[in-house]
């Protein structure tokens, strides 16, 4: 009889322990399912139980850790780290990478609405940048409406003069037919970009364009920027130009502007980013922070097409406007 009482007591104890564990799971246990993004922590913070500043603290998170982001809502990110799931301000995270670009686009990306073709020459500039003199025939990725077209220039934006361009909207990728333009992106440089080595920098960009222009990807195919353009050496044809880091100069300097422009062109479409790194925490001046794509000895830009039809990339440098265009290609 005593043995039976002892057994029942032990069972009650185990049930109580199991109940406690179940109650604790929502606050502590992470899940590999339903992850929308990975991201990097920008600054130290306390992970909160709910999306409120005064919510219960779950875990102290330190800068530079990588986290899994389950969702983004009203400025808060629901994240998972070290077995805990909770909330952090979305702005405390950087370097978002979508694990399902069909459903989740990278927050903060610069969204374009169409292509503008210059019909009347005009200068274009923003504060702190000398600008570009655009000529008839140049093309630019723009945003806004046909009545109010704007272009992302450096880390700012500029309005296009009325009556100076012809506007063509992008075709949504789900509705596109062979030959349709799905998306494009433009960045800028001029004769002063690169200082005394500006000519060399522009040469390196042109060389990388010649090696990458016309790229076609079949459904499910993967592209590596370095596989096409590296190594960035004198023997490969590159010239000495400014780079980020090291001594500040290196062969192939400037090529990262092409990889950055390409990266921003694929962000808006169903491409899975396999490899991507930024230059540094500060980034580069021709694109907002966290939107650059570094390539070199230790970094690459690589992505896989999730579209169910082939795509073709065109790359143009026209009077310092560097544009990458993505078309639905003809079936092979």
Residues of the chain with CATH 2.30.30.40: 30-107
Residue 176, SS3 per DSSP: coil
Burial class (CB in 10 A: 0-12, 13-18, 19+), 18: exposed
In the numeric block, which tokens belong to residue 108?
């903060």
Rounded to whole angstroms, the Cα distance separating 230 from 266 reads 20
**The pLDDT value given to residue 1:** 45
- Cβ atoms of 62 and 41 within 8 Å: the answer is yes
Cβ partners under 8 Å of residue 1, min gap 6: none
Whether 332 and 218 have beta carbons less than 8 Å apart is answered as yes
Secondary structure class of 185 (helix, strand, coil):
strand
Q: What does the pLDDT read at residue 332? A: 66
Half-sphere exposure of 314 (CA within 13 A, CB side): 16
The dihedrals phi and psi of 50, each to the nearest 5 degrees, come to -130, 165
Q: What is the DSSP string of 288-328?
A: -TT-----SSS---EEEE-SSS-EEEEEEEETTEEEEEEEE
Q: What tens-digit pLDDT sequence spans the chain (332 residues)?
A: 444 444 444 444 444 343 333 333 333 333 345 899 999 999 999 999 999 999 999 999 999 999 999 999 999 999 999 999 999 999 999 999 999 999 999 999 999 999 999 999 999 999 999 999 999 999 999 999 988 999 999 999 999 999 999 999 999 999 999 999 999 999 999 999 999 999 999 999 999 999 999 999 999 999 999 999 999 999 999 999 999 877 789 999 999 999 999 999 999 999 999 999 999 888 999 999 999 999 999 999 999 999 999 999 999 999 999 999 999 998 76
Report the DSSP beta bridge partners of residue 181. 327
Check residue 264 and give its pLDDT: 98
pLDDT of residue 33: 58
- Other CB atoms within 10 A of residue 190 CB: 17
Query: Which class is domain 30-107?
Result: mainly beta
> What is the rounded CA–CA span in Å between residue 311 and residue 10?
65
Residue 71 φ then ψ, to 5°: -165, 165
C-alpha Rg value of the chain to the nearest Å = 25
Q: What pLDDT is attached to residue 121?
A: 98
Q: Torsions phi, psi of 169, nearest 5? A: -70, 155
| Whole-structure pTM value | 0.88
Provide the pLDDT for residue 22. 32
Count CB atoms within 10 A of the CB of residue 299: 17
- Rounded distance, CA 187 to CA 193, Å? 12
């Amino acid at each position: 009889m005593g043995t039976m009482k002892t057994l029942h007591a032990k069972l009650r104890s185990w049930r109580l322990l199991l109940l406690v564990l179940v109650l604790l799971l929502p606050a502590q246990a992470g899940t590999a399912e339903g992850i929308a993004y990975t991201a990097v922590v920008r600054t130290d913070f306390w992970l909160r139980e709910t999306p409120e500043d005064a919510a219960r603290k779950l875990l102290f998170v330190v800068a530079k850790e990588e986290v899994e982001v389950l969702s983004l809502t009203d400025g808060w990110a629901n994240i998972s780290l070290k077995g805990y799931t909770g909330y952090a301000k979305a702005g405390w995270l950087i370097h978002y990478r979508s694990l399902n670009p069909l459903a989740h686009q990278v927050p903060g990306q610069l969204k374009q609405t169409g292509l503008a073709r210059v019909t009347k020459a005009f200068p274009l500039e923003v504060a702190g940048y000398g600008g570009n003199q655009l000529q008839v025939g140049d093309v630019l990725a723009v945003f806004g409406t046909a009545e109010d077209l704007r272009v992302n220039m450096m880390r700012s934006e500029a309005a296009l003069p009325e009556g100076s361009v012809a506007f063509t909207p992008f075709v949504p990728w789900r509705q596109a037919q062979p030959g349709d333009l799905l998306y494009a992106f433009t960045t800028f440089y001029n004769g002063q970009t690169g200082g005394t080595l500006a000519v060399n920098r522009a040469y390196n960009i042109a060389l990388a364009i010649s090696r990458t222009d016309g790229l076609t990807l079949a459904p499910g195919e993967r592209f590596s920027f370095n596989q096409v353009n590296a190594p960035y050496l004198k023997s490969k044809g590159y010239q000495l130009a400014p780079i980020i880091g090291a001594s500040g100069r290196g062969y192939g300097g400037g090529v990262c502007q092409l990889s950055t422009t390409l990266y921003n062109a694929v962000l808006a479409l169903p491409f899975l980013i396999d490899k991507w790194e930024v230059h540094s925490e500060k980034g580069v001046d021709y694109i907002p922070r966290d939107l650059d794509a570094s390539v070199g000895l230790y970094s690459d830009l690589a992505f896989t097409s999730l579209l169910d039809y082939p795509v073709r990339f065109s790359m143009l440098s026209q009077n310092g406007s560097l544009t990458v265009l993505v078309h639905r290609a003809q079936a092979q």
